Amino acid sequence: MKTQVLADIEKYFSSYLLNIVHNPDCDLFVQHNFLNKKWLGGSKSIQYELLIGIDSKDSIVYVLEKVIELGSGFSFGFKSSSYSQKGTKVYHKVKAQQIGLDDVAYVVDLDLGFILKEIETIAKKHHFDFKEVLNPSKIKDAHLS
């Protein structure tokens, strides 16, 4: 049953062209750069990581999601910021509007919530529970079970 859950999740990631990377500590590791935008006077990037461990004994799909947001820009001086969050209910919607020094507006409208919702749907379809965790060791333990 674990292999079917993995196959369905991999198929889902492939349909959205999300990068699956080999990692011996989990069943699936997704690493994707959703945004890497530069404009005259600033930049913004959003990097996404998702670790999945499937415990076939207890029928649970564990996920750990990490989002790293980096940005910098000019606004009456120099402003630089970075943000990283790991854990449950990561901010899922990113909406921003930037106007560069070239007077061109750049709009960012990104919803990351669809990823976990679909994984939860796949897990439930196969009668697995779905849990978000903060500790990577939980993912590794599930992977090894």
List, for residues 30-60, the tens digit of each pLDDT value.
998 877 777 676 777 888 899 999 999 999 9
Per the DSSP assignment, residues forming a β-bridge with 60 are 55, 129
- The SS3 assignment for 88 reads coil
Residue 82 has pLDDT above 50, yes or no: no
The predicted structure's pLDDT at residue 14 = 86
The HSE-up count of residue 10 (CA atoms within 13 Å, CB side) is 12
Residues 48, 46: Cα–Cα separation, whole Å? 7
pTM across the whole model: 0.75
**What confidence tier does 19 reach under pLDDT thresholds 50, 70, 90?**
confident
- Tokens coding 33: 């750069």
> Of the ranges 18-32, 50-64, 90-104, which one carries the lowest mean pLDDT score?
90-104
> Which helix (H) or strand (E) covers residue 11, if one does?
helix 2-15
Residue 62 and residue 50 in contact, taking contact as beta carbons nearer than 8 Å = no
Pairing of strands 129-132, 60-74: parallel
